[in-house]
Structure 1
Amino acid sequence: MTLHTRLLAAGAALLLAAPALSQEARLSVVYSLPATNDLMQSYFAFVEDVNANGAGILQIDLRGGTEILPRNEQMNAVSRGIIDLYFGPAGYYQRQVPELTPLDAAAVPADKLRAAGLHDAIDAGTRERAGVAFLGAMGTGYNFQFYTITEPKIDDDGTMDFSGLKIRGGASYDPMYQALGIARVDVPAGDIYTALERGLVEGIGFTTIGVSSGGWQDFLRYRIFPTWRQGNTIIAANAAKFDGLTEEQRAYLMEMIQKHEMLAYDAAKALEAVDTAALAEAGVQDVVLEGAGAAEVTAAFQDTFWVNVAETLGEDAAAKYRAIIDAANGS
């Protein structure tokens, strides 16, 4: 046996004896908001950061949005392992996976929610029901409020007359809208401009950011305060896929998620200021409800919210989630 042959043989033996190196993981993702939506920019920044620093560890492949998979099929695709990750609002899937619902009652940044145990509690529930791992809350830092085309009618007691108004809102808005007498119209975010243009809605329930980037100030003339809940955009994963990553890969992904939860919070606060300025320039007027008016809007959400959670998940589960949320909101 020549020296060259012996060296090759020795090298082969070392390779066989060495532990197998983990291969770079690749995770596919779909998203339910339009790519131009302001909220998506924090997701895109997250993917860019993960991929730039995760060579040899983990990469994320953006498959696309509703143009490749309809919104109502995206969480099912993640649950079944067809797609690995979901980016977007939790509210679209709260009937399918109601354990996502408690996130709506939060009023503090993601780090406080995680420290209080909300992420773990939601994750346990979504895994059991749908095989979906709850990884991150990207929606702290912005809130929801009403915007209308026509001037709101304010009654003598300071409350706003919402009765019969056709206002855009997702299915998760139902209890609140019913309490206020609103006629909810289900319009995807990407279709709001057309719905306003065609008079299909008289207003929208939407976030405190993203209105001006959608051009909706072309039609909306009034922004109603108070806001009534925090955002609920999330990162969710197929649980089996996530659990099948190596410890290094999971740790890297979660480190990046926790980093970008807070970057998304900061970005949302900055975007709120941008949207406020753009709407003011377009002539959109703020209507600030106070006293009974503010209390009515707040109660319409809070009073119906936990009743709905209890009816869906049971009294014990609702009490567990509420204790976590209350602790986080008070921290």
Structure 2
Amino acid sequence: MTKRFTSLAVVTLAAALPAFEAASAQDVTLRAVSAFPTGSTFQLPFKKFIDEVNAAGDGSVTITYVGGPEAIPSLEVANAVSSGVVDIAVVPTSFYTAELPGAAMIKLATTTMPEQRENGCFELLDTLHQEGMNTKYLGRTGDHVQFHLYLNKKIEEPDLSGLNLRVAATYQALFGELGANMVNTPPGDVYSALERGTVDGYGWPSIGIFDLGWDAHTSYRVDPGFYIVDVNFLANLDTWNNLTDEQKALLEGKMIDIETGEQENAQLVEKELARQEAAGIEAITFDGEAGDLWEKTAQDAAIAEIAEADPQAVESLRGCLIPGE
């Protein structure tokens, strides 16, 4: 069942925003919000999506960008689109794991979004979101971008005992399995936590730490990376069902265009890692048995955690997300 809001910020926003607008029987205005700050690395593809829909829609579909976390707190964005406070949102699964635990399987994907559209995985993920969260799964960005552990203390092996690490739902099971002391801190508070020494490190993708200024208090990055970034584009299902076939096709087509562009992310990651090196962030590389342990623990810890909450999702999605494992 979809959880409803009690947040004052969201209630206030809902009262201030007009309902799903129709200028005519055909023309619609959709309200959009991002779980990421406006202008940040993971919000930019969403901005491009909005701009391209508005340009191509010629008034039949207009997306109005409400804002980022200043409009709706990041952890409430998924509920906002689920309940219809907004019509479209961009949000990672780590921000709605409690509502839809099976969606966490996305982070384990070794297939890209274009491949998932071909092998039937997209339809399974769409059904999961529609039935479990009253949202239409439009698609995802983040292909070829992995997560890393970033530290201000050097380690020699995959043993995180004694380290205080800022965690998110994405990698909490992994860090916990390797002995870390886990600290739950909103992204906006991580800089001060690093500055004060409250945490010794954090998990984050290979791109984006410079957006947040965290590089100033980061000395090491652990390789290899683990999981993939999933920045999901969701539409409220009731809103989606009220669109015409032509309007749906426009949104779907522009989403596929965005996903196609994401296949160039490998070059973006290469540039970002070079920038980290130039900033003095040293790579700690686990190879051989240590590397095998690091990667196996990441996979096993995630599967076990998801299976406990939604074994059916693991069974149905495993083959198309991580074929040949």
TM range (shorter): 0.7 to 0.9
Q: What is the letter of the counterpart of residue 284 of structure 1? A: I
**Does structure 1 residue 26 correspond to structure 2 residue 38?**
no
Say which SS state the counterpart of residue 298 (structure 2) adopts.
helix
Map of 1:146 onto structure 2:
149
Identity score, percent: 28
Q: What does residue 168 of structure 2 align with?
A: 170
Could you state the TM-score of these two structures normalised by the residue count of structure 1? 0.86
Match among 118, 122, 136 for residue 119 of structure 1: 122
Q: What is the letter of the counterpart of residue 306 of structure 2? A: V
Runs of 4+ in 1 over 6 A off after TM superposition: none
Q: Structure 1 residues 59 and 99 mapped into 2: Cα distance closer, same or farther (>3 Å)?
A: farther
Distance 1:55 1:61 in 2: 14
The superposition leaves residues 241-300 of structure 1 with CA deviations (integer Å, 9 ceiling, x where unpaired) of 11110000000100000110121342x333312321221111111111111211121122
Question: How far does residue 87 in structure 1 lie from its aligned partner after superposition?
Answer: 0.6
RMSD: 1.7
- 1:323 aligns with one of 306, 319, 323: 319
The whole-number CA distance in structure 2 between the counterparts of 1:193 and 1:37 is 16
Aligned length: 302
- Give the secondary structure class of the aligned counterpart of 1:35: coil
Q: Does 1:252 align with 2:255?
A: no
Give the distance between the partners of 2:255 and 2:182, measured in 1 at CA.
Answer: 34
The normalised TM-score by structure 2 is 0.88
Alignment of 1:193-232 (within 5 A): 193-232=191-230
Pairwise CA distance, 1:22: 4.3
Q: Structure 2: 5+ residue runs without aligned partners? A: 1-23
Residue in structure 2 matching 1:87, options 83, 87, 90: 90
1:293 aligns with 2:290: yes
CA deviation after TM superposition for structure 1 residue 24, in Å = 1.8
Amino acid at match of 2:45: S
Matched residues in 1 for 2:192 and 2:103: separation?
Answer: 29
Q: Structure 2 CA distance, aligned partners of 1:72 and 1:272?
A: 26
Q: What is the deviation of 1:308?
A: 2.0
Residues 222, 283 of structure 2: 8 Å contact kept:
yes
Query: What's the secondary structure of 1:141's corresponding residue?
Result: coil
How far does residue 56 in structure 1 lie from its aligned partner after superposition? Answer: 2.6
Q: Which of 160, 178, 181 does residue 180 from structure 1 map onto?
A: 178
Match of 1:98 among 98, 101, 125: 101
Distance 2:55 2:267 in 1: 25
Q: Deviations for 1:31-83, whole angstroms, at most 9, x for unmatched residues? A: 11122421111111111111111113212111011111122222111111111
- Corresponding position: 1:108 with 2:114: no
- Give the one of 239, 242, 249 matched to 2:240: 242
Bigger-Rg structure (1/2): 1
Deviation at 1:208, TM superposition (A): 0.5
SS across alignment from 1:225? strand
Given that 1:23 and 1:56 are in contact with CA atoms closer than 8 Å, whether structure 2 keeps it comes out as no
Q: Give a deviation string over 1:148-169, Cα, whole Å, max 9, x none.
A: 00121x2xxxx33211211122
The C-alpha deviation readout for 1:83-131, integer Å capped at 9, x for no partner, is 1111121211112112311101102321012212222111112211221
- 2:102·2:313 contact (CA, 8 Å) conserved in 1? no
Distance in 2 of aligned mates of 1:275 and 1:189: 20
2 CA distance for matches of 1:92 and 1:214? Answer: 18
CA contact (8 A) 1:138 1:265 kept: no
